[in-house]
Amino acid sequence: MRTDVPPLLHAYARPAADRSSYVDIVAGDGAEVVDAAGRRYVDALGSLWYCNVGHGRAEIADAVAEQMRTLEVFHTFDRFTNPAADAVAERLAGLAPMPDTRVFLTSGGSESVETAVKLARIAQHWAGHPERTVVVSRRPSYHGVTYAALTATGLAANQQGFGPLLPDVVQVPYDDLDALDHLGPEYEGRIAAVIAEPVVGAGGVYPPPEGYFAGLRERCDRWGAFLIVDEVICGFGRLGQWWGAQHFGVRPDLVTFAKGVTSGYLPLGGVLVGAAVREALEADEAAVFRHGYTYGGHPTVAAAALANLDLLEKEDLIARAPAIGERLGAGLGSLVDGTDVVGHRGTQGIWAIELAEGLSANAVRDALLGHGVIARPIGTSALAYCPPLVVTDEQMDRCVEGTRRAIADVR
């Protein structure tokens, strides 16, 4: 056993790795962060696709401190509630991309996906369709790491070695509506829900083909299946509207959210529950939804969300996404030369470049740190960009120029 490795076991990292190259982030403001040696970086991925209002916002810190002094926490199981949890649910229901919405609160994205899958299945069950248990997801996609979320995730590498996954989950290519029509007779009449990200994020940054979501909606209606739109990355302004579903003009039955709801300041996630699922849940007044997380409805976390939503609204930050698309998207597009960078993709506030064979995304990311930019490798050959909505033109230009230089460094 190695005793020289610090105890913190990092997510998505080699447990036995030498930590000498780790970057120790100690502070942040706006779209930049600072490491322990005082070096500044443009936070080109908004930490982990979430820091929409930027770092160091005193308004959120103040709201959290005030809530902490009043009521730091009390649970919301069965008959208990608190004003902050009610206020954030009210606010989110008002913003929802479908009418008559209720809101279930969790502590993050995976819990939200887990909840949405359970909601879809129990609603089908309670509506008299216990045979509808199948969940259809896409490949590639990223929905999280708990077992239902992991099973839905369309990235084979993430699933290997973890033993049996959830039964009754079937995957189709992310851009292929026809594949949905050819799922096979064993799935006929058994589909509880389809889950889809508006733009596939951590699975590789893939916008859908034209008309894709209208096609999904039509099939869900035909099958009596619920449409779960996973807005963990796209929600809260990433695509220039509150929700990716609005950007693509689709009405979901369930919406999963996390990340941008607090810009990551405190861990919050949840599910928006639309009318169809809601009716099934409310039909029998005596029926209990036996599901919930200790920290769902945490008032301090809710206070952070409310302050974050205020900032998004007051500063009209959602309107920044198209401008990011124009400047960062075009800048990254200018790197495409067919030799080192073979493509770029994305829309609005979320982008990726595809590196040529032989160029490692990890190596380019490492070199890019030396140019003061933190982007994220996705897979072995792509780098992702999803900056805070407060990112400046100059900072976006640094992302592009830094990437150009980093590629030259590793060539």
Using CB under 6 A, list all residues that contact ligand PLP.
49, 108-110, 113, 142-144, 197, 201-202, 230, 232-233, 258
When the beta carbons of 49 and 213 are compared against ligand PLP, the nearer one is: 49
Region label for 211, one of left (φ > 0), alpha (ψ between -120 and 50) or beta (otherwise): left
Least CB distance to ligand PLP at residue 395 (A): 23
Report, in Å, the least distance between residue 272 CB and ligand PLP. 14
Nearest approach, Cβ of residue 5 and ligand PLP (Å)? 24
Provide the minimum distance between the beta carbon of 382 and ligand PLP in the complex, in angstroms, as a whole number.
15
Provide, rounded to whole angstroms, the least separation between the CB of residue 307 and ligand PLP.
Answer: 20
Angle at 24 between CA 301 and CA 401, to 5 degrees: 100
- Closer CB to ligand PLP, 105 or 280, in the complex: 105
Residues 6+ away with beta carbon under 8 Å from 213: 196, 198, 245, 248, 249, 250
CB 83 within 8 A of CB 256: no
> Of the two residues 144 and 299, which places its CB atom closer to ligand PLP in the complex?
144
355 — phi, psi (to 5°)? -85, 155
Supply 169's token pair.
């989950």
Q: Considering the complex, state which of residue 327 and residue 345 has its C-beta at the smaller distance from ligand PLP.
A: 345
Question: Is the Cβ of residue 253 or residue 340 nearer to ligand PLP in the bound state?
Answer: 253
101: Cβ–Cβ under 8 A, 6 or more apart, which residues?
A: 92, 93, 272, 273, 274, 275, 278
Q: Whole-angstrom Cα distance, residue 70 to residue 300?
A: 9
> Backbone phi, then psi, for 95, in 5-degree steps?
-90, -15
In terms of CB distance, is 235 or 331 closer to ligand PLP?
Answer: 235
The label of the residue with tokens 């902490």 reads 68
Nearer to ligand PLP, 180 or 258 (CB): 258
End-to-end CA separation in angstroms for the chain:
37
Nearest distance, CB of residue 352 and ligand PLP, angstroms: 14
Furthest C-alpha separation in the chain: 66
Q: Do residues 259 and 233 make contact, with C-beta atoms less than 8 angstroms apart?
A: yes
Closest contact distance (angstroms) between CB of 52 and ligand PLP is 14
CB of 230 to ligand PLP, least distance (A): 4
Please, which residue, 233 or 375, has the CB nearer to ligand PLP?
233
Return the number of the residue (352 or 400) whose C-beta is nearest ligand PLP. Answer: 352
* Least spacing, CB of residue 389 vs ligand PLP, in Å: 17
CA angle 106, 134, 155 (to 5 degrees): 70
Q: Is 123 or 261 the residue whose CB approaches ligand PLP more closely? A: 261
Are 103 and 92 within 8 A, CB to CB? yes
User: Alpha-carbon distance 82 to 77, whole Å?
Assistant: 11
- Helix runs in 224-377, H state only: 244-247, 275-282, 299-314, 320-324, 330-333, 361-370
Question: Among residues 383, 387, 399, 394, which one has the least CA distance to residue 344?
Answer: 383
CA 177 to chain centre: 23
Tell me the closest approach of the beta carbon of residue 339 to ligand PLP, in angstroms.
31
Residue in the shown chain whose Cβ atom is closest to ligand PLP:
109
